[in-house]
Chains A and B, each alone.
Chain A
Amino acid sequence: MNKHHQWLAQQLPEWVDDKLLSPEQAEKLRDRHPATDSSGIGRLLVTGAGAIMIGLGVILLFAYNWAEMSKLMKLAAIFSALSAAHLTGLLKRDQQVLSEGFFAVGTMLMGSAIFLVGQIYHLDSHYPNAFLLWSVGALALAWALPSLTQAFMTIILIVCWHLMEVLDFQLTNYSAFLLILIAIFPLVWRLNSPLLARFASAALFLTLGLSIGIVNDEMIAITLLLIASGMIFLAEIIKQQSDLPQKGIADEITKPAALLLVIMMISFTFDDLLRELFLFKLNEPMDSATLWGTLAFSQLSFCWLASKRKLNLFVILTELSIILTVFPSLLLQLELLSLPTWKALITLSSISFNLILLATSIWMMFEGAKEGDRQRMLRGCFLFTILAISRYTDLFDSLIARASVFLIVGIALFAIGNLYQRNKQGGQP
């Protein structure tokens, strides 16, 4: 429950008492603004964090490797603790937070048990596998309960596993990306948690970005752009299904994707960088499969949205990004474009990105100021400033020109601030 819902929940009884609203109207208002996310998520997360700390404590306790303690005693201690934690969780099912806490401790103890077995038998095998096994254990419980805490733990463990595979062993490990996509996203859907949706979405980009970066860093920009666009379009499709209870998570899935897209669009305003990011070579079959698969998915989703006339500004910006970057590069790959023509097209794309972002930022600033939408206005101002700073570095070579940039940006922000203030005051009685 966020602060607005809390405020509404406090105010409604007072308004009814003051005869401003009838009880029926108050009920309608409650229905109109239901509390999103599962209630007590804060308590759940705090309990989960506590459980993780307990588990880490146990891991480090066993890491001391007590020489006086026999192998059998160590194993008996850890397996008893693991089973006891889970069984207590089962017995306390009527107290959700407490039960989740015990299950989380149990899953942490599973990790302790894995490391303890490794220590006892001096195992020196491929150590990221320990995290994979641990994450599968957490995932099984996340589905069986179903549990938000276990779901968060699973994502963290998958990301840890992936980081080790990629950074320590230079392995692509696409399995982490697939595991999140196939096993975590359906869980996000089932639990209908916006926070988990955002977290899973960010983990998805991280795992994929690292996988591609390790084997073929030339493919990073195009793949991330296509995955981000696919998710933005998919979220938009979900939002259009008015009867789906999961509508709330759609926006959250989009947030990391949208942030990534904006960062990429800003970087695309640099001509040299854009050329470097999109001059790639398809080395591995997995690269081609990812590229064509994500492109087909994003374009089919866009066509569906276009056919339903559900195109908003962000969807259009996403599609424009694909048209300006992915299509010329694919034409070059298929040898339908020569390299000089491609370079010329990419320069045009870079200019287009500048104009698109400039227009978008101005529109967001003015619309936000006019409508009294502070968030939109601030986002517009931020985008406008970033764009000005980006061009400041490569367009202007005299002090007068540099001064003009600051003056223009300053005046624009000042004017927008005033417009916002006036509209805000004008709206007040």
Chain B
Amino acid sequence: MKRHYFVLLAIAFQVVAVASIALSKEWILVNGKEVIFQTAPIDPRDIFRGDYVRLDYPFSHIDTDQLSADILTSGLRKGQKVYLSLKVNPQGIAQGKQLSTTPPSQMPYLTGQVKNHWPYRDYMEQHSRSKPTSISSENPVQIKYGLEQYYVEQGAGLEMEKTRGRRNGFQVPMLIHAAVSEQGEALIRSFEWANIAMKTEIIKSPERNAPDDLASATVRFTLLNRGTTAISLPWKENGCSFSLIPTTKRGDDLPFQRPECLNLLTKTKTLEANEQAFVDFDLNHTQWRVEHKGEKTAMGKLPWNYRFRIIHNRAEITTINAKIVSRAFHGRGRVD
């Protein structure tokens, strides 16, 4: 009889252990704060859980300028718990602000785990006989937040990847609606597609060993209204509604000075369903030179880890549900 109790206890353990996980997650979904993250899906498969799309967020790779002082001095261990404070724009889309090893005082924030030792080279030299790799403190910190997988019915993963678009074509941002608990644990509630698609392409690549004034590429950033109703956005001539921003802020010489944009009137550009509009950035113009090793350097001559994006200057555009931002690219004409 006594043994029967133990068996019942063991069975109860099996049921309760799993049910408690489900309940705790359900609690977060119901009570967590709603936050939206912009991402792009990739489609792999899990042998035990079926199809899922892998989600990569801009804040999955944190650059040095977003690290707290204690991280910059002590570095990070693989698996270490970290906290990312969030900045939510008027559209409700959250972006990473600062990574720290202690919870931020203000909500919302995300709790994550460091994927690799940082700076990797220093760590490996201290702790291992393995050969150090080229990963140094200049590389971003890779973080996992537990928001990187979205499970779908078999076959739906490929469909989602098709909607997302190809690397060299139009890509549609995916908007993840997540619930974030007070402890920074985030769970995906649902997702929606943005009503705008974006394409980043190199329309003119520089010659090999070209002189400084011809060493950089010309980048075209195209927007496509993929919805069924018209969208309108603020628009200035010469691409002046858009800015070029570095993926990592390194000096004080930014933002770039654009005298041609002074005194230009802001008009409204209306994009009907399936209509496109684009802006070109010829990176050979001297205004795009960047301070590097004490010299104004052409973008095409910068090291490979100097990458840039094109963004729309207006943070909130009411008719568009996503942030307008290009893929990262290098001045020589390589798009990430």
Considering the complex, give the chain A residue whose CB is closest to the CB of B21: A117
Which residue of chain B has its CB nearest to the CB of A112? B48
Shortest Cβ gap from B158 to chain A (Å): 14
Contact A145 B25 (CB under 8 A): no
Could you list some 25 contacts between A and B, CB below 8 A? Answer: A59-B48, A62-B50, A63-B46, A63-B47, A64-B153, A65-B49, A79-B15, A79-B19, A82-B18, A87-B11, A90-B4, A106-B14, A118-B49, A123-B187, A124-B144, A124-B148, A125-B146, A133-B17, A137-B10, A137-B13, A141-B10, A143-B10, A144-B6, A144-B7, A145-B3
Is the C-beta of B147 less than 8 angstroms from some C-beta in chain A? yes
Residues of A within 8 A of B78 (CB): 170
Complex Cα distance, B9 from A143, in Å, reads 11
Proximity string of chain A (329-366) to chain B, C-beta cutoff 8 Å, 1 when within and 0 when not: 00000000000000000000000000000000000000
Q: Roughly how many angstroms separate A125 CA and B138 CA in the complex, as a whole number?
A: 27
Residues of A that sit less than 8 Å from B by CB: 59-60, 62-67, 75, 79, 82-83, 86-87, 90, 106-107, 110, 113-126, 133, 136-137, 140-141, 143-145, 169-171, 283
A82 to B25 Cα, complex, angstroms? 20
Return the 5 tightest CB-CB contacts between A and B, nearest first.
Answer: A63-B50, A144-B10, A140-B10, A144-B6, A124-B149
Per the bound structure, the CA–CA distance linking A63 and B127 in Å amounts to 40
Known contacts A117-B21, A125-B146; A137/B50 CB under 8 A: no
The answer to whether B152 has its CB under 8 Å from any CB of chain A is: yes
B150 in contact (CB, < 8 A): yes
Contacts of B18 in A (CB 8 A): 79, 82, 110, 113-114, 117, 133
Q: Are B22 and A117 neighbours in the complex by a CB distance under 8 Å?
A: yes
Residues in A with CB closer than 8 Å to B48 are 59, 63, 115
Given A63-B50, A117-B21, A122-B11 contact (CB < 8 Å): no
- In the bound complex, do residue A140 and residue B151 qualify as a contact, i.e. CB atoms below 8 Å apart? no
Whether A82 lies near B14 (C-beta < 8 A) is yes
> Which residues between 32 and 88 of chain B lie within 8 Å of chain A, taking CB atoms?
46-52, 78-79
A283: B residues at CB distance < 8 A: 127
Compute how far the CA of A303 lies from the CA of B113 in the bound complex, rounded to whole angstroms. Answer: 49
Q: A121-B25, A123-B25, A124-B144 are in contact. Are A82 and B15 (CB under 8 A)?
A: yes
CA distance A177 to B187 in the complex (A): 33
Contact between B49 and A119 (Cβ–Cβ < 8 Å)?
yes
Q: Which residue of B lies closest to A113 (CB)?
A: B18
Which residues from chain B sit less than 8 Å from chain A, CB to CB? 3-4, 6-11, 13-15, 17-19, 21-22, 25-26, 29, 46-52, 78-79, 113, 127, 144, 146-154, 156, 187-188
B323 to chain A, nearest CB (A): 22
A contact face: mostly helix, strand, loop, or mixed:
helix
B128 CB, nearest partner CB in chain A, Å: 9
Q: Please, which residues of chain A bring their CB within 8 A of the CB of B52?
A: 119, 122
Query: Among the listed B50, B147, B152, B154, which residue makes an inter-chain contact with A124, where contact means beta carbons less than 8 Å apart?
Result: B147
List the B side residues contacting A144 at CB < 8 Å: 3, 6-7, 9-10
- Chain A CB count within 10 A is highest, among B19, B50, B146, B187, for B50
Name the A residues within 8 Å of B29 (CB-CB): 121
Give every chain A residue within 8 A of B17 (Cβ-Cβ): 133, 136-137
Complex CA gap A62/B151 in Å reads 12
A62 to B187, CA, bound (A): 20
Given the known inter-chain contacts A90-B4, A119-B49, please indicate yes or no for A141 contacting B151, CB distance below 8 A.
no
CA of A128 to CA of B51, assembled, Å: 19
Contact A122 B149 (CB under 8 A): yes
* Chain B residues closer than 8 Å to A143, beta-carbon distance: 6, 10
- Count A-B pairs with CB separation below 8 Å: 117
Contact residue among B10, B13, B150 (Cβ-Cβ distance under 8 Å from A122): B150
Give the chain B neighbours of A116 by CB distance below 8 A.
Answer: 49
Also in contact, A65 and B25, with CB within 8 A (given A137-B13, A144-B3): no
A106 to B4, CA, bound (A): 16
Which of A66, A107, A137 has its CB near the most chain B CB atoms (within 10 A)? A137
Residues of A within 8 A of B8 (CB): 90
Residue of B nearest to A140 (CB): B10
Contact between B13 and A121, CB atoms less than 8 A apart: no
Pick from B14, B19, B79, B147: contact of A140, CB under 8 Å: B14
- In the complex, the answer to whether A137 meets B14 with C-beta atoms within 8 Å is yes
Does the CB pair B11–A141 fall under 8 Å?
Answer: yes
Since A122-B188, A140-B9 are in contact, a sample of 12 more A-B pairs with Cβ atoms closer than 8 Å, ordered by chain A residue number, is: A63-B49, A65-B50, A65-B151, A67-B156, A79-B18, A86-B14, A90-B11, A107-B14, A117-B21, A119-B49, A145-B10, A170-B78
With contact pairs A65-B153, A65-B154 given, residues A115 and B14 touching in the complex (Cβ less than 8 Å): no
How far is B26's CA from A283's CA once the two chains are assembled, in angstroms? 44
**Alpha-carbon gap, A125 to B149, bound state (A):** 10
Which chain B residues lie closer than 8 Å to A124 at the CB level?
Answer: 144, 146-149
Instruction: Report A-chain residues with C-beta under 8 Å of the C-beta of B144.
Output: 124
| C-alpha gap A401/B19 in the complex (Å) | 71
Bound CA–CA A75/B20 (angstroms)? 12
In the bound complex, CA of A59 to CA of B50 (Å): 9
Nearest A residue (CB) for B46 = A63
Return chain A residues, CB-CB under 8 Å to B149: 122-124
Query: For residue B187, which residues in chain A have a CB less than 8 angstroms away from its CB?
Result: 121-123
Contact A66/B7 with A83-B15, A121-B29, A140-B13 known, Cβ cut-off 8 Å: no
Chain B residues near A66: list those with CB within 8 A: 153
How far apart are the CA atoms of A90 and B152 in the complex, in Å? 36
Return chain B residues, CB-CB under 8 Å to A123. Answer: 25, 146, 149, 187
B50–A106 CB distance below 8 A: no
- Verify B14–A141 contact, CB threshold 8 A: yes
A119 to B25, CA, bound (A): 12
A291 and B10 alpha carbons, distance in the complex (Å): 36
CA distance A82 to B13 in the complex (A): 12
Q: Which residues of B contact A171 (CB under 8 A)?
A: 79
Query: With a CB–CB cut-off of 8 A, which chain A residues contact B79?
Result: 169, 171
Contacts of B146 in A (CB 8 A): 123-125
Tell me the nearest residue of chain B to A142, going by C-beta: B10
Say whether B152 contacts A65, CB under 8 Å.
yes
Q: In the complex, what residues of B have CB within 8 A of residue A121's CB?
A: 22, 25-26, 29, 187-188
User: Which residues of B are found within 8 Å of A65, using beta-carbon distances?
Assistant: 49-51, 151-154
Docked-complex contact A115 and B13, CB < 8 angstroms: no
Max chain A C-beta neighbours (<10 A), residue from B8, B48, B113, B156: B48
When distances are taken between beta carbons in the complex, the residues of chain A under 8 Å from B19 are 79
B11–A106 touching, CB < 8 Å: yes
Q: In the bound complex, what is the Cα–Cα distance between A145 and B8 (angstroms)?
A: 10
